[in-house]
Structure 1
Amino acid sequence: MTDARTLGEMTPALRALRLLAAEYSHLPAPFVHLSPVDAARLELSLHDVDLTSDTFAVFEVWREALGIAPDSVIFRVQGNGRTRVLRAEGTFGGVEVALTAYADAPAADTTAVGGAA
């Protein structure tokens, strides 16, 4: 933790964000979080990207672009089973990067076994 006090002290994370914008401007935009508490960390999150894209597929594209290993991905469910979450961490442009994707869980199948009503 670096506990930056000025915008200039956040240069490592800002530089990594600039590299992302230059290299991957064609990818769907994630939410970006930078904090002066840790100037060497960049957090990217994807929230139901749009109605035509699978948020987890977009997560995979970003994970590959960032060079984060597939085996570092963690899956969990939150919100009483209503939200699926993928999370992975790695390094890009000299800073720690956390990539998180949130997607609605599919509705539970309520069809009775054997087609009985």
Structure 2
Amino acid sequence: MSAPALSALSAPLLVLRLFSAEFAHLPAPALGVSTIFPDRLELSFHGDFAGFEAWRDALQILPSSVSYHEHSGGRTRVLTAETDYGGARVHLIGFAQMPGGDGARSRQEAGR
């Protein structure tokens, strides 16, 4: 089985090029493009939700379309949203620690 050609990723790469021109002022995300989901561009933000919210607003994704989840036993908050843009599916994901949590577990919690 041969690997797909780079052209298989043309939709998300084109959208990324459009974003670099239209939204250059927005916070830089971690980027994800994969042959597994060839029409998807993932923009992820780590640490707080400011970058996620700036991009959500710029892409005109309604707040009611955002999903909220928790990971790591409730220590990490996660926001996700998707929209279609320029022929690609854009997936936003934001990660932030719970307020007041330092992200570290006690020895007692780690033993559970």
TM-score range, shorter chain: 0.7 to 0.9
Shift of 1:58: 2.2
What's the secondary structure of 1:35's corresponding residue? coil
Counterpart residue number, 2:75? 82
Partner of residue 66, structure 2: 73
> 1:114 is matched with which residue?
none
| Distance of 2:87 and 2:63 partners within structure 1 | 20
Kindly tell me the number of residue pairs found equivalent between the two proteins: 99
Aligned equivalents of 1:70 and 1:94: distance in 2? 22
Match of 2:9 in 1: 10
Q: Distance in 1 between matches of 2:40 and 2:98?
A: 29
Select the structure of larger CA radius of gyration: 1
AA paired with 2:35? P
Structure 2, unaligned stretches of length 5 or more?
102-112
For structure 1, the 5+ residue unaligned runs are 49-54, 109-117
1:27-66 equivalences under 5 Å are 27-48=26-47, 55-66=48-59
Q: CA contact under 8 A between 2:29 and 2:51: conserved in structure 1?
A: no
Residue of structure 1 equivalent to 2:108: none
Per-residue CA deviations over 1:35-69 (Å, capped at 9, x if unaligned) read 11222111110011xxxxxx223211100112222
CA contact (8 A) 1:66 1:91 kept: no
How large is the Cα RMSD of the aligned pairs? 1.5
Give the TM-score of the pair, scaled to structure 2: 0.81
CA distance in 2, matches of 1:47, 1:58: 8
With normalisation by structure 1, the TM-score equals 0.78
Shift of 1:13: 0.8
